[in-house]
Amino acid sequence: MCSKINWEYRFLPVLLFFLCHCNSTVPQLVVINGNTMGTTYTIKIVTQSPADEQVLHQGIQAVVDRINNAMSNWIPNSDVSKFGSLNPGSFLQVSKDTQNVLELAIEIARKTDGAFDPTVSPLIELWGFGTKERDHFPTDAEIEQLLAKTGYQKLIFQDGKTAKTHAGLQLNLGAIAKGYALDQVALFLDASGYQNYLIDIGRELRANGTNLKEEPWRVAIENPDPEVDSPILRVVSLKNKSIATSGDYRQFFEYQGNQYSHILDPRTGRPIPPNITLASVVAKDCANADGWATALMVLPVDKGIALVEAEPELECLLVQRQENGIFSIHMSSGFEDLLLENFN
């Protein structure tokens, strides 16, 4: 989320499952696949009872469709799209899901001094990472003009209704909605009586209970360094936790020999400079992990680590690209406790 070669890494979590020993009731692994939010999902459920996979798939799809229909910038009647056409001073009643996401997005924005901002949609569109293709390289004047129309401080949100103080203010919840959708799928599985599962929506994950070996789920973070032989950077052990990873390598374009990431610094209106190349955040819920992973891509390493240390429910791993091309790893104090030393 390099500059010499147009290559792209994929954060492809490696999920390691083990068959448990035989007993009177052998757990089964049920796998549900689908599509949502421009990506795919895979849900793996360990159960000792027969599962109706069609009913599960329909229920899961209904959950992710509900979130997507409320928060997509591509759907004309979504809450996000309706807000975009709202006049200043007018209030829009949004769904409970959108309320929850906006509350968390504003909270993260405040805690990170605007490194995360749900109102950067006009800038995302300008740089060609939104609903429209980029037709030119943005000028300084264009960026400054749109910066005046962004900023979470211009967003009014109260009693389930939202409004804007400035015309042109728009929402983009793409950096947090996917994690929230994952949490809602987890609630659906909980209500359906499942306790052991791993949810993967576009490389954001939530692990509940244990795998087939009755051990915590194992998830690998891919190595972003192209010069090393191992594709795996680290493997974490997760139980009743979520992990989200953001990077400057998933979506980018090159212009005059420079690489421009799809992750923008909301304060400058420009793509983040080459520095942190990967941020993985572990949290109890995936919406927090998702939003904070984006914010940590924007913040300096030391400040990002300090903010995470102040949040009891968060841990993080950051990979920084030095000027000499060397990659260095930085972790919060509790992240190392989640690591598996031997994951072969």
| Lowest-confidence region among 21-35, 80-94, 150-164, 316-330 | 21-35
- Whether the pLDDT of residue 163 is over 80: the answer is yes
pLDDT at 27 over 50: yes
Is residue 235 in some structural domain? no
Query: Residue 231 — pLDDT band, cuts 50, 70, 90?
Result: confident
Residue 3 has pLDDT above 50, yes or no: no
- pLDDT for 61: 98
pLDDT at 341 over 90: no
pLDDT bracket for residue 2 (50, 70, 90): very low
Question: Between residues 32 and 18, which one has the greater pLDDT?
Answer: 32
Q: Which residue has the higher pLDDT, 71 or 273?
A: 71
Task: With respect to residue 329, please indicate whether it lies within any of the assigned structural domains.
Answer: no
Span 80-112, pLDDT tens digits? 999 999 999 899 999 999 999 999 999 999 999
Average pLDDT across the chain, whole number: 89
Residue 23 has pLDDT above 80, yes or no: no
| pLDDT bracket for residue 179 (50, 70, 90) | very high
Give the pLDDT of residue 85: 94
CA distances in angstroms from 132 to 4, 104, 119, 201, 250, listed in the order given: 26, 27, 17, 24, 18
pLDDT digit string (tens) for 198-210? 999 998 999 999 9
Angstrom distances, CA of residue 88 to CA of 13, 94, 142, 149, 170: 43, 16, 22, 12, 11
Whether 125 shows a pLDDT value over 80: the answer reads yes
- At 21, the pLDDT band (50, 70, 90 cuts) reads very low
What is the number of residues in the chain? Answer: 344
pLDDT score, position 342 = 58
Q: Is residue 170 part of a domain?
A: no
- 148 — pLDDT class (breaks 50, 70, 90): very high
Q: Return the CATH number at 103.
A: 1.10.3980.10
Kindly tell me if the per-residue pLDDT of 283 is higher than 50.
yes
Q: Do 89 and 95 form a contact (C-beta atoms < 8 A)?
A: no
> Is 316 part of a structural domain of the chain?
no
pLDDT at 15 over 80: no
Whole-angstrom distance, CA of residue 251 vs CA of residue 169? 24
State mean pLDDT over 212-240. Answer: 89
At residue 133, does pLDDT exceed 50? Answer: yes
Whether residue 5 lies inside any domain: the answer is: no
Residue predicted with more confidence, 110 or 273 = 110
Confirm whether 102 is domain-assigned: yes
* Assigned domain for 155 exists: yes
Task: Determine the Cα–Cα distance for residues 283 and 90; give it in Å rounded to an integer.
Answer: 36
Domain extent for 160:
70-164
> What is the total count of domains within the chain?
1
Please check whether residue 301 lies inside any domain of the structure: no
Please give the pLDDT value at position 343. Answer: 54
- CA-closest candidate to residue 177, choices 251, 76, 104, 270: 104
| pLDDT(22) > 60 | no
Percent of the chain with pLDDT over 90: 75
Where does the pLDDT of residue 223 fall: very low under 50, low under 70, confident under 90, or very high at 90 and above?
confident
